[in-house]
Amino acid sequence: LFDRTVAALSEHHIPVDTGDFRLMSRRIVDRLNAMPERDRFIRGMVAWLGGRQTELLYDRDARHAGVTHYTLRRMVRLAADGLIGFSTAPLRLATLMAVIGVFAGVGLLAYIVAGLIVGSTVPGWASLALIVVFFSTAQLVCLSIFGEYLGRTYMQAKGRPLYLIDEI
């Protein structure tokens, strides 16, 4: 579920159902080590680097002894690193909510106008509801603009190269 969520929200193709255990060429390892990021989501970083990748299917046996030492807290942190490190989709959530708010405001306005025409209005309700929806939507629009700038600044601050040269 996690891999599919990150793959769907990521701006780069990240293969699903892959682990962190892999064989890599020296060139990819050097490029991976040269990346300045602190919160590393290895699956995404290797996919971002590109190169030729081939899957090797195998049947993984159950753990023979012991239990995993990867706690729920560490798994949640890995999920956050994967989602935040390779996607600005969480920041764009404000844009989606602002669009929904605009449609809700237009629908509310149509409902209010229809109520005025029919003559079945509750005094004060319409103006209060319209003011709340209008200002909430205005805040979400401002937040979405801020989120776009923040996302672009974040992607620049990672210091990833614009392109990688394979051979000279």
Contact 104, 130 (CB under 8 A): no
pLDDT score for 162: 67
If you compute the radius of gyration of the chain from its CA atoms, what whole number of angstroms results?
Answer: 24
pTM of the model: 0.61
Q: Which residue has the tokens 């990150």?
A: 6
What is the pLDDT averaged over residues 21-36?
Answer: 82
pLDDT range class, residue 63, cuts 50, 70, 90: confident
Name residues whose C-beta falls within 8 Å of residue 14's C-beta, 6 or more positions apart in sequence: 3, 6, 7, 43, 44, 47, 82, 86
pLDDT at 167 over 70: no
Is the confidence at residue 39, as pLDDT, over 80? no
Nearest Cα residue to 138 out of 164, 162, 102: 102
CA 39 to chain centre: 15
Kindly report the average pLDDT of the chain as a whole number: 80
pLDDT at position 23: 80
Rounded to an integer, what distance in angstroms lies between the CA atom of residue 89 and that of residue 83?
8
- Output the six-digit token pair for 166: 């394979």
How many Cα atoms are found within 13 Å in the side-chain-facing hemisphere of 46?
19
Q: In this prediction, what percent of the chain has a pLDDT beyond 70?
A: 91
72-86 confidence digits (pLDDT tens): 888 888 778 777 777
Distance (Å, rounded) from C-alpha 145 to C-alpha 139? 10
pLDDT recorded at residue 41: 77
Q: Are 50 and 163 in contact (CB under 8 A)?
A: no
More confident residue, 110 or 35: 110
Angle of helix 42-49 versus helix 26-34 axis, rounded to 10 = 120
Take residue 114 and report the two structure tokens written for it: 């229809």
- The pLDDT confidence band at residue 100, using thresholds 50, 70 and 90, is very high
Q: Which two tokens stand for residue 130?
A: 């319209």
